[in-house]
Every structure is written in C-alpha cells, then in structure tokens.
Amino acid sequence: MRQQITVQRITVSWPKERRGAEAANARAGLAGAFPLPHGTTGAGPVLVHRVRMRDEDGYRVEETFDPFAERVPREFGLRFEEHDGLLVVHRTSVDDAFPRRRPRELFRIHPGAFARYRANHRFITSSGRWWYALWTFNIGYGPLPAGAFVDMESSTHVDEQVSLYGDARRRRRAKPDTR
C-alpha cells in the first residue's frame, strides 16, 4: 500500500557579496525545520511544503504548500521509490548547480518516520551574477503530525555541504627539493 510522502524543502539563499563570517553566523541561526500547515493528513500522495528565506528580504520566512502534488518537483533533485515497505530516497542531479553531484541512494525511510538531507549549491545567472543556496529537506513517509519535523528526531541525517568558496585547506604543490 502506498504511503503518503511529505517533502519540506527549506531554501536559504544569499548573494556572493554576503559570503563573510558575519553573514554566515546570521544564516547559521535560521531554522532547519518548520511545522507543516494544518490539515495535511490524508491529502494527496505527495505533500510539498516549500519554505524560502532570502538574504535580500532579511531572511523573512515565505511558505507555499501543495497538499495534492502527484510527484516531487524535478528541481528538488530527488527521486523516490517504494521498496519492501520502505521509501527509498535517491539524489539526482540539479540543473545549473555547482558542485555537480552524482545520482545515488541517500537513505531509506520506514513508515511513520522522517529523514533529513542538507546540501549547498552555487548558481550563476545568465548575467554572470553568483548566488548561493543551502537546501534542507525534511522527508516523511506515512502519516505525520504537523509538528513532526520540529518535535521528532529524524531517523537519518545526510549532510553533503561542501566549501563553495574555494577551500583554504587545498593541497599545495610540493616544491622540488633543491638541496
């Protein structure tokens, strides 16, 4: 029997000019989970709850909710399949995002549980302007209470954040021994 799938994507975005420590500290204090809108139990096969916080808006929370989605939007970079009573979550590629991530299985979720996946990306507009995003996905399988993502512990947490600015710890080329 197919269980309801709930996907909450939280997007925090900022421009290239706001990459410093002070701005990063402000972003670090932002929520990684939100309560689901009321009346979500028993809706469509996929519930999609988008939460967006942008630097240009002072990280004001903007929410949209689609309780009757047929599938997860392609731009989320996720694919789901049900197998042996579990929800198998796969990562797919995200168009126009750096770094490119190869498709792979992220985790499996039991009914009544949820998992969390975090990844960051760098994007570039057609005008050459860079911007950055941190995506946090809370993915539930089966009926969940509205506060599940906030009140419950995730069964699995996968964090694929990487340095987007150029890692200061890069390996240096070995200098030839001139002794």
Q: Specify which residues 158 forms β-bridges with.
A: 117
Containing domain of residue 35, as a range? 5-160
pLDDT in tens, 131-173: 899 999 999 999 888 899 999 999 999 998 877 665 544 333 3
C-alpha torsion 102→103→109→111, nearest 10:
150
Q: How many domains does the chain divide into?
A: 1
Closest CA to 47 of 88, 4, 97: 4
**Which amino acid, 150?**
V
Question: Is residue 45 domain-resident?
Answer: yes
Domain membership flag for residue 117: yes
What's the whole-model pTM score? Answer: 0.85
Residue 67, domain member (yes or no): yes
Q: Is residue 176 part of a domain?
A: no
Residue 172 belongs to some domain of the structure: no
Residue 58 belongs to some domain of the structure: yes
pLDDT tens-place string over residues 9-61? 999 999 988 888 888 888 899 999 999 987 666 667 889 999 999 999 999 99
